[in-house]
Structure 1
């Protein structure tokens, strides 16, 4: 609590040090329309998680239950993918072979190019379709092979597939997250994968081909972050958001897009 009590004095000291080191950058993160208020990013990132925000691990709730169910499906998918990867001629799953082809393309690249290959390839492999249209239910989270078998899915299905593909392509689990965000412009929730590269979190989003850093995301509020250890809820410090906190799963609504809507610029 002492930190907040002396925030201005700390800010002055750290700002002076930053100026002395010549590390000040003036960029989009300081704009009024940024995701996180400038006061939270002008000094130091507070957390190693995407968006620099602290997060609290959940011990229960609807979103955790949903993710636990996905993890069980992921384990089955990984076994099938490993078998097919070892003997592709005998692999009887077209979905597994298609997924492995994307992983192969990513393994042949390094760094940002590896992440971009997975983002583009999975965006193009899946047709954006709402859960209601595909499953007759509002919110269904599918495993990668189920999504590739149907060729359709919504935002969280893209995110889960990219989560698995990044792992298979050699990206460390510590550097991969699924994040659920609130789209403030459209009033709906959205899921995407973020991958850390050289200390920077890049968003792999089904709504765009180009990857952007977390600090450049606009008009979204991060709600939950998912990793290999489970689900965490972001600790939103704004008083207006405190009443909205809940452990239950948000209704992750699909953002319908067509391939023509994707940005064509490379990563």
Structure 2
């Protein structure tokens, strides 16, 4: 999804994906900080550059806990926008795959969902409240394709800020006329979206099959890390 070439990633596919139901198997509210031993294991499996990206991510999280929320947004957006854009077919061999932040960084690539998911979970573990964050399905009008961005709400009725891998500047949704907002969701809820704002609550986010699968993998990873640390 979210290819940068018009004619692919059709808008209707984005909408249809929202209602592919699946029972919620597990939740992973935040990514767990990686131990030095875990990063060393990733180094052995995926190489020095992968380990360096993971270490830089962990340092970002630790340093970011001391920052204001606007500074956290800027740092996180800038950090992840350095990662390569790669579409799912080329990168994962699948039509639509939502990567965990670790998968995204290890492979140094992903599409718009992967950028948005990594920013979402990183800001959560840096202390930004869930109700201030949403993953937003939009249509990128100039590219004529579906797209995903992260939106940040300073308060429930505020115009959200948009964190986007297409541009580095963080702007209010009403200053992004190139994006048509459709749906938005976070760890709990799913809303219709209008002009960037949450317009109507339509259910819970476990109606999104890729989101449920992502959370299940993250929970499995969390358990594996915990078990590994207990054995040490």
Superposition TM-score tier, normalisation by shorter sequence = 0.5 to 0.7
Aligned-pair CA distance for 1:134: 0.5
Aligned residue in 2 for 1:194: 151
Cα distance change of structure 1 residues 179 and 217 upon mapping to structure 2, 3 Å threshold: same
1:152 aligns with 2:99: no
Return the TM-score normalized by structure 1. 0.56
Q: 1:185 aligns with which of 116, 120, 142?
A: 142
1:120 aligns with 2:78: yes
Whole-angstrom CA distance in 2 between matches of 1:103 and 1:172:
15
| Aligned residue pairs, count | 170
Task: Name structure 1 gaps, 5 residues minimum.
Answer: 1-60, 237-246, 250-267
Q: Does the CA-based 8 Å contact 2:135-2:150 persist in structure 1?
A: yes
Cα distance change of structure 1 residues 169 and 154 upon mapping to structure 2, 3 Å threshold: same
Aligned residue in 2 for 1:38: none
Whole-angstrom CA distance in 1 between matches of 2:99 and 2:122:
14
Return the TM-score normalized by structure 2. 0.63
Rg comparison, structure with higher value: 1
Q: How is 1:228-267 mapped onto 2 (pairs within 5 angstroms)?
A: 228-234=187-193
Q: How is 1:1-267 mapped onto 2 (pairs within 5 angstroms)?
A: 62-63=17-18, 65=20, 72=26, 75=28, 78=31, 81-82=32-33, 84=34, 88-92=35-39, 93=42, 94=51, 96-124=54-82, 126-197=83-154, 199-234=158-193
Aligned-pair CA distance for 1:186: 1.9
Provide the aligned C-alpha RMSD in A. Answer: 3.0
Q: Does the CA-based 8 Å contact 1:155-1:191 persist in structure 2?
A: yes
Task: Name structure 2 gaps, 5 residues minimum.
Answer: 1-15, 43-50, 196-206, 210-232
